[in-house]
A and B are shown apart, each in its own frame.
Chain A
Amino acid sequence: MNSPVLAPAPVPTVYEQMASRGVSRRDFLKFCTWMGAYHGLENDGTAQIARAIETKRRIPVVWLHFQECTCCSESFLRSSHPIVADILLDKISLDYTETLQAAAGHQAEEILQDVITRHKGEYLMLVEGSVPLAADGCYCVVGGKSALDTVREVAAGAKAIVAWGNCACSGCVQAANPNPTGATPVHAIIKDKPIVNVQGCPPIAEVMAGVLVHLLTFDRLPQLDSLGRPKAFYSRRVHDTCYRRPNYDAGLFVETFDDENARKGYCLYRVGCRGPSTYNACGTMRWNNGTSFPIQSGHPCLGCSEAKFWDNGPFYQRLTNFPGFGIESTADQIGLGVAALAAGGALAHAVLTNVRKRHDIGEQPGESPADLDPNPTASEPPQKP
């Protein structure tokens, strides 16, 4: 960590620093190839990454923690590629992060101030957690400052902002109805800075590393979708990359978690899998060094990289509680109720009609066979003989 006290020495490039730590050229190029592959780059992209890391200085980074469970940090630390965690913790200049920094108290605050003044317009701001707006932000105060104030202050001089995880991207569980703390995602507060939403609860470690490397390498934001998520990782649905997808198309579904179909590894769609509406890279990158992901372990996707996934419950059924109709009433129950009401109404109406309108329904004067005029042009019924 840069000490603000020491006079700044000529800053080594990222690669120089890596080499001084004993990373071989071969490992370095392997890392660059991994990162190129993550981003879906062509082969020459690897060279671009290598060149960038060879020539660029370390980016100063401020990593802020607000209302969150730190699972994003936990995930990040498990970034499985041999040197990913290493490069990102050592090679970027992670100047301030509450959970990992050695400094504490005034010293820590001093470092933060130092970074945002000395590297104004250069540093990267990473945010983990949502920002409470209710009650003047008193629900999350760090170093005597509300999260809101800190976000505004640090964002003002940031080059770009990376929102880690569902909390910072869409509020996660704190923002679930009724959202008592007024938990708010970063993009709803900061409007004038480029923001990358790295969604998930938590995001996949390699995705987090990949986004940082992209920023480091290309010095600009990755391609983002309409919700600000990097397209390289969030452009496909979990459903589309799920290895159980053939079971879905074949109509082979798990009905309960302990049935024969569950043992056979059928599709978890019926037990509430959110894969068909969730954009994430779980199906391809998986977790924990590519070991597994929830569906592979027999658990339906909860849709943790989508906004409001806590409110779209219950998790284990496809049909959610229908908004506005109270707890535990799904569209089916309401629909069936209304349909029954309509059918009952129609039946009652039919009975009423037969009573009230019997004069209109029955034979009208002049309509009995004896009355029928052989000449249809006459307008008046004939007199009976």
Chain B
Amino acid sequence: MNPPRHVSHDYARVYVWEQPVRWFHWINAATIVVLGVTGWLIAKPPVFLVSTEASFNDWFGQVRFIHFVAAYVFTANFAFRLYWSFAGNKYAHWRNFFPLTARQIRQIGEVLRVDILQSTREAVHTLGHNSMAYFTYAGTGLLTVFQIVSGFALYAPMSDAWLPALFTWATPLLGDEFSLRTFHYAVMWAFTVFTIIHVYLVFYHDYVEGHGVLSSMVGGWKFMEKKQIASEETAGLSPYPKPRSRVPVAPPRPAKTG
């Protein structure tokens, strides 16, 4: 019999994603889906042959209304997440998103070798995201900012509200509204591509590593062998700030009897 590779199954439950992070994630996901679908409809509305007068219909107006409301939710949600990157636990901290330490940069290489090239077998075990994932989310954060700025700049002429008016400077940067609109639409595709890869990779990581990453965005808990947790904690990928409440390891359960 081969020598056992993973002999220890001494798993611990670690509370990684706090409730605000999870709320952010699902609100973000929902609004992106809504914005994507309505955005696509706005760009390419289906053509109906209707016999009624225009005054009896308002579906396109409704679609646009939903798009604008979802945009406000999307923006507020993102603003909250920015706040939480200062107030939240270390896995949510903003420093993770920028690969500034040698360790983070090294880990990006490791992740690419292990997960994409698959030239190395030993998985990279991290409690938060791995450095590559954090860095990718910094990218989607940039796209989010672009969509918010360009979206509100496009919306400003139709609105008297103060918030859209803050973004009117964006239109001349890309020349004119029409170009801005083209880019705003193209970034919708970027989100689509991101979503495909993101969903696949979550399944992949859950499948291969077994840390429960898929369910972690529901319950907040990840599962990892204690010795991996120990090495992750000491290696300190995300040392800022000190965790506020320490409940990383669930207390041992009483042994089942009978």
Contacts and interface: CB of A to CB of B under 8 A. Distances in A.
B208 A335 contact: no
Given A251-B45, A350-B200, A274 B208 contact: no
Contacts of A376: 252-253, 255-256
Contacts of B50: 250, 252
Given A374-B256, A380-B7, A342 B193 contact: yes
Interface string B170-211: 001001111101100110111011001100100010011100
A277 B45 CA distance: 17
Nearest to A246: B54
B6 interface: yes
Residue from A240, A251, A353 having most chain B Cβ neighbours under 10 A: A251
A312 B178 contact: yes
B126 to A, nearest CB: 16
B49 interface: yes
Given A246-B55, A360-B208, A251 B48 contact: yes
A238 to B, nearest CB: 12
Contact of A269 (B8, B45, B116, B182): B45
A381 B208 contact: no
A350 B197 CA distance: 12
A381 B4 contact: yes
A277 B204 contact: no
B193 A339 contact: yes
B182 A360 contact: no
Interface stretch (A52-60, A128-136, A187-195, A361-369): A361-369
A249 B61 contact: yes
Interface stretch (A108-116, A141-149, A286-294, A314-322): A314-322
B230 interface: no
B58 interface: yes
B118 A356 contact: yes
Given A306-B176, A374-B255, A380-B8, A270 B47 contact: yes
B4 A365 contact: yes
Given A318-B43, A339-B196, A366 B7 contact: yes
Given A252-B54, A350-B204, A338 B193 contact: yes
Interface in A301-352: 303, 306-309, 312, 318-320, 322-323, 331-332, 334-336, 338-339, 342-343, 345-346, 349-350, 352
A335 B179 contact: no
B5 interface: yes
Given A318-B44, A331-B185, A380-B8, A274 B178 contact: yes
Interface stretch (A36-44, A79-87, A153-161, A253-261): A253-261
A361 B181 CA distance: 45
Contact of B182 (A240, A261, A322, A350): A322
B60 A361 contact: no
A359 interface: yes
A270 B177 CA distance: 17
Nearest to B180: A277
B246 interface: no
A357 B8 CA distance: 19
Interface in B42-78: 43-45, 47-50, 54-61, 63
A377 interface: yes
Interface residues of B, number: 59
Contacts of A365: 1-7
A334 B5 CA distance: 45
B192 A253 contact: no
Contacts of A260: 49
Among A240, A250, A359, A364, the most chain B Cβ lie within 10 Å of the Cβ of: A250
A48 interface: no
B47 A255 contact: yes
A269 B59 CA distance: 15
Given A260-B49, A331-B186, A339-B189, A249 B58 contact: yes
Given A274-B178, A374-B255, A349 B6 contact: no
Contact of A349 (B55, B200, B253): B200
A226 interface: yes
Interface in A256-306: 260-261, 269-270, 274, 276-277, 303, 306
Contact of B121 (A227, A246, A342, A360): A360
Contact of A261 (B43, B49, B157, B185): B49
Given A250-B55, A366-B4, A319 B9 contact: no
A381 B61 CA distance: 64
Nearest to B227: A379
Contact of B5 (A277, A335, A359): A359
5 closest A-B pairs by beta carbon, nearest first, are A335-B189, A365-B4, A251-B60, A250-B57, A277-B177
Given A277-B181, A334-B189, A335-B186, 13 more contacts: A250-B57, A250-B58, A250-B61, A251-B60, A255-B47, A269-B45, A307-B176, A353-B204, A359-B5, A360-B123, A366-B4, A375-B255, A376-B252
Interface of B: 1-10, 43-45, 47-50, 54-61, 63, 116, 118, 121, 123, 157-158, 168, 172, 175-179, 181-182, 185-186, 188-190, 192-193, 196-197, 200, 204, 207-209, 252-253, 255-256
15 contacts: A246-B54, A252-B50, A260-B49, A270-B44, A277-B176, A306-B178, A319-B185, A320-B182, A335-B192, A335-B193, A349-B204, A350-B204, A367-B9, A376-B253, A376-B255
